[in-house]
Amino acid sequence: MGNFLGIDASTQSMTGLVIDTSSSQIVVEKSVNFDEHYAEKYGVENGVLDANTSVVHSPPLMWAEALETLCSQLRESGIDLTSIEAISGSGQQHGTVYLNQSAAGVLGGLRADLSLAEQLGNVFSRPTAPVWMDTSTRLQCDEIEAGVGGPQRLLELTGNTAFERFSGPQIRKFAQQEPESYERTTNICLVSSFMASLLAGRIVPVDAGDGSGTNLMDIGRRRWSQDALTATAPDLGRRLLPIIKADSIVGTMSPYWVDRYGFSPTCNVLPFSGDNPCSLIGLGLVEPGKLALSLGTSDTFFACMDQVRISSTGEGALFASPDGVHYMALICFLNGSLAREAIRDQFNLDWEGFAAGLRQTNPGNDGGLMLPYFHAEIVPHISTSGVIRQNLDPEKPAANVRAVIEAQALSSRIHAEWMGVNVQSISVTGGASANAEILQVFADVHDCEVQQFQTTNAAALGAALRAWHGHMTALGAPVSWSQTVSEFSRPLPGASMKPRAQAVTLYDERVEAYRDLEARHT
Ligand code: ADP
Ligand code: XUL
């Protein structure tokens, strides 16, 4: 029993959430928004550089700086940081951080009188990190698939066909286009393992949950696949540490965090995992059967599986669950919050005005439909942006608000069919899950209850729960996964959207109209 910290290093912000397991309460939640703090210094918009091109990177030094700002905020919130028994975290998936030979030494000898930003400037062999929004690696995807014997073989081996955003294709592109910098790269981290390395003061391996988002991990064995490594880049194996169990302790907080922020020197650090695998835990999906929806920068729709399930269309992703046993089936939509924000901003609305737009319009939108490709899309695969409207006046604010949300909900219904889950209820998380009007559309389209939770950051909560679970296991007093999540993953009383019969019937028809429109444009 005690306090456990989960840190979510996501696309637009870094969040810290502390749970007290003796009272089963979330005791602090703090968030550092990248644009608010670092837009000028690092040139980011929505947390990334050049979001409107196919090459989308973020500066890893900014993440390091944000981690310090977050720790200051946690300390100022009044929480006693010495009381934190263990820390784990979650990172936006797929992004890669490239370190040179000085990195390990610098991390191991951080001086507490200087900031991370002052000390880490020279540890990168590539100053920016490609992130999940990058869609520039189609060529490398094709080459990797061919290199292992075809897309079907890569799917069977890693659980996924090659995706542009996945780490393997990104690494291959770097090795091809900047061979000298690749040569100077001693270690490649994922966002998750980079963050854990900052805390532990040494380079920390990735867990299988995030390892499965690389196109490099043998999904059955939960270790790097030599075939995939060879097909991706020269000498890649020696640049990656072996994959470890999400529950292992990788060290204690390095003296830097003890001296500078007052963490306990015995505070354990566990590997970070991907944000979606952590959300799976944070929403309590530790048994198959339930679906969850994350409405963050990306929208993801996912389920816990007890065996490998592969999407025949190649659009679904499969990850290992950090619970060490299950799998996670997921679809990812790039046009999530950024598409909703594009409509919000086009009509000068705030979120309340956006919700009012949904209230003022009827399900079915009088026949209006939108394909919301404000950016290239992952599911379905669309390589160039371009919004398509059918029977929809582009000048009408409320109709466009409804169109973007109906498109997202209908698309999630269509593209989740391969998961084969009989949907009983949907658990929601992510910034936009605070918006009940948006959730009502998802409830009507999926014909099931949509449930809100105390925090909209299930990834950070899942990370904190993972820290607790791993810590107790290491103490020799393991807590089962169902016990770990039970008190924290209860839906908020009175905060569930129920499907409305008339709308459900209507959407059963609209889904076919949407499917047709989509088929004509993909
Ligand atoms: P990520 O973790 O990917 O950085 P979050 O889950 O923190 O993203 O979600 C942030 C997004 O949530 C914001 O960019 C914003 O678009 C959206 N958001 C926040 N509040 C609302 C709201 N009331 N209605 C709709 N969207 C919202
Ligand atoms: C999942 C994906 C995104 C990122 C950012 O495959 O690409 O959801 O994890 O949240």
What are the tens digits of pLDDT across the range 289-300?
889 999 999 999
Tell me which residue has its CA closest to atom 22 in ligand 1.
432
Rounded to two decimals, the pTM is 0.97
Predicted confidence (pLDDT) at residue 1 exceeds the cutoff of 80: no
Q: 273 alpha carbon to ligand 2 midpoint, in Å?
A: 12
Across residues 334-346, what is the average pLDDT?
97
Residue in 416, 474, 414, 413 with CA at minimum distance from that of residue 446:
413
Helix (H) or strand (E) holding 398: helix 397-415
Q: Please identify, by atom number, the ligand 2 atom nearest to the C-alpha of residue 165.
A: 7
pLDDT tens string 200-255:
999 999 999 999 999 999 999 999 999 999 999 999 999 999 999 999 999 999 99
pLDDT in tens, 421-455: 888 899 999 999 999 999 999 999 999 999 999 99
Mutate to test the pocket of ligand 2, among 8, 48, 190, 276 (most ligand atoms within 8 A of CB): 276
> Coil, strand or helix: which one is 261?
helix
* Structure confidence by residue, pLDDT tens digits, 253-272: 999 999 999 999 999 999 99
In order, the DSSP letters of 262-331 are ---TT-EE---EEHHHHHHHHTT--STT-EEEEESSSEEEEEEESS----TTS-SEEEE-TTSS-EEEEE
Average of per-residue pLDDT across 341-355: 98
Ligand 2, atom 5, lies closest to the CA of 92
The pLDDT assigned to 379 comes to: 97
CA–centroid distance, residue 330 to ligand 2 (Å): 9
Q: What is the pLDDT of residue 124?
A: 98
Q: pLDDT tens across 151-165, in order? A: 999 999 999 999 999
Ligand 2, atom 7, lies closest to the CA of 132
Distance 276 CA to ligand 2 centre (A): 7
Atom of ligand 2 nearest to the CA of 276: 9
pLDDT at 496: 94
Query: Cα of 298 to ligand 2 centre, how many Å?
Result: 6
- Which atom belonging to ligand 2 lies closest to the Cα atom of 296? 10
Give the DSSP letter string of 155-196: HHHHSS---TTSHHHHHHHHHHH-HHHHHT--EEEEHHHHHH
Average pLDDT, the chain: 97
311 — pLDDT class (breaks 50, 70, 90): confident
* Whole-number Å distance between alpha carbons of 397 and 406: 14
Question: Whose CA is closest to atom 9 on ligand 1?
Answer: 431
Q: Which atom of ligand 1 is nearest to the CA of 355?
A: 24
Q: Which of 471, 383, 377, 342 is nearest to 46 (CA)?
A: 342
